[in-house]
Structure 1
Amino acid sequence: MAISGDRYPGRQVEEKWQKFWKDIGLFTARENTDRPKFYILEMYPYPSGDLHVGHMENYIYGDVIARYYLMKGYEVLHPFGWDAFGLPAENSAIKMGIKPSEWTFNNISESKRSLGLLGFSYDWERELTTCLPDYYKWTQWIFLKLYEHDLAYRKESFVNWCPGCQTVLANEQVTSEGLCYRCDSQIQKKTLIQWFFRITAYANRLLDDLDKLKGWIPEVVTMQRNWIGKSEGTEIIFELESGEKLPVFTTRADTLFGVTFITIAPEHPIIKELITKMPTREETERYIEESMRKTEIERTSTIREKDGVFTGLYAIHPLTNERIPIWVGDYVLASYGTGIVMGVPAHDQRDFEFARKYNIPIRIVVEPVGGKLPEVDEMESAFEELGVMVNSGEFSGLNSLKGMEAVTKKLDEIGRGG
């Protein structure tokens, strides 16, 4: 093709080379090859409307990487597909007054045409559409296998409910303002019966592999660790003065004598039982309402200042009979552990910052081996390492590991944990 004059015939050039790439199968990945292999995948789009510039930005990044490795001599697998299941497509179809299937496949056709004009390096022979049986039969097969092995079960749980889309959203689909990422509706926290997988059955492998996630932001990795929920420790039962029990799980039973407050997740079911007894009921209810508009990522962020509200209620320490103030704090998640945590500010940095903010007492109960911590007023951070128990009654002088065992045994003997 001859090029002359001041105008560049972009359309003709693009059509020529795109046809050539297609004819020679340039982007078709071959299985039997001695070349090194590279796999790249961008998130499939929802075919609930036309593609926009945000899609193009995402796919251009992937295309650059795919072409880079292709030119370096790799056998590149760069597939594409359509995340075509779920209520977004159905809601859009209802709004347009046509069948969901017609709306979905029309959008797929138009989106594929748009992507083709841009010349992306996709292997279209491996195109997937998640609403077609040849794809979703495998998700059904996987689910049945999990169910057969008692790894899938149902229970009631808090979810992110979008009143606009009429569907449940993942935490990542809720903006920092608590809005639906699709329709900007205010997300509501509500309880629904949900399916769950027993991921804790694979907890060790999952936790080990988190260390391989290079480049992931710390907040997301922390959230993943919380979801996996693998911990070894002691359950401790605090009782309210009115008799209700608050089970707490801890990996540091040696710090039990340093507890100066207890924090309950705002969505914890026991809140409903206790709310009428709270002297600060109105303030607590306002705080809970505000907390329900925050995402789990926002609530567990390591860079966000922790906050909470004092309920006016107290629990009894299982070993000292001391009155322990009960707080509600959104940095605690009902889905992690028991949804209730014991605050040990001298030996947990999160608790330390919370106690400093609200002038909650700090009590040192573990000293470093062969050393001594500064006075509480001079502490700049929590001492979180193992050490020697102090200010812990009959357990003082034990090292942390032996202390954990001894405290756990004592709790078991008196029926307050173990």
Structure 2
Amino acid sequence: MKTPFKLLALMLITSVMLNAQQHKIHTESFTADRNTTAIFNLDNITVALEESTDGKLHVDYIMEFDGYSKTEINTFLEEIKVEVGKFDNHITLSASSKNKISIETYEFKTTDAITVNQSFFESKKDSVSRKSLDTLRLEIEQNNHSIQGNSLKYINDRFKKVDKNGKVTNFKKGGIKMMRSRFTIKIPPYLKLTVNAKESGLYIRQHLRNELTGTLIGGTLKTKEISNPYNKLKIENATMEALAIDGGDFEFINLKNSKIGSIQNTKITSEFSKLEIGEIQKNVTITDFNSEYYFYNWAKDFKRFNLYSEYSKIHFFYPKLDYSFKVIGNNTKNFIGKYKIEMQPTKKGEKFNMMERKSQGNGEFSGEIFFDIIHGIIYSYDDSFKKTNN
């Protein structure tokens, strides 16, 4: 009878130790109706948004620690401030931290050297090729889930230990300090939401139909589909990845390596950004200054696409169905494979018709593409056409 008792005691001690590593920061719920509005002010915080199914707004914030002392944990917790309140059917949430809080943070506890897994971090090839909509969406989804699940596997896929004899080994539990932020806010689908975030992470885990406005300066926005004609977002010095955008006005300033799966009924104003778009659908207009865009695919009925740009670099993959294409502007280069066509500047800088492709009248017509581009570069890729010898 002694052995089972010792085993049970050990299990209880272990359970207490594990529970001691989990700390509840804030838990609260609020009723909401179709007239309720909310504003989230975030600073150095990572938040996940999910849909609420019971008509209430739920705030649930838990921090988890592995390998940290009580003193270290208390120091982290003292730096986090969360305040939530409701007044006159308006909910205000403010969350901040002195140091940036990510979903998971790692600190290596080793005197050995650390090496990078080059196969994971290998640089991309210089060549540019068309990505399908499914391929780009898969890249976005993989990035969104890259640190969920087995944390040790995540680390060992990227880093290894190297001892003084040059032996390379994986990290083991206890060899890494891990801090996890589990900050989830569930909102009803009719809530009007404003988010003002600085150096924060905003993860939208489900299709968000709410009216969403606000700014994100620094940090990351990763989302599934967001669809509302009244959306209005400004994203600056950040990274954005979205499986789909339907509706709204977006301002992008200095976006880094960002990706949108599909986009429609949307206006974008951008500058100094880099953005890949998997598929352009109906009614999209982009006004840009000095950014780099990749237009990989076009919907069967994208109707009309407008680009107004200056000093932009455009990677343009032709639609696979019939279309029309008109380019006006000044002082722009067009690279088609190995060939370069230069549109020389006019003396007075007037715009002129640089190139035009009319509908061929063959098969289904997908839409009109219009470029108004000054001092730009267009890279045209004809991989959708098969050359035949007559």
Q: Shared fold by TM > 0.5?
A: no
**As a proportion of its length, which structure holds more strand?**
2
Q: Which has the higher contact order (CA 8 A, sep 6+)?
A: 2
Which protein has the larger Cα radius of gyration, Structure 1 or Structure 2? 1
Report the TM range for the smaller structure's normalisation. under 0.3
**TM-score (structure 2 length as normaliser):** 0.26
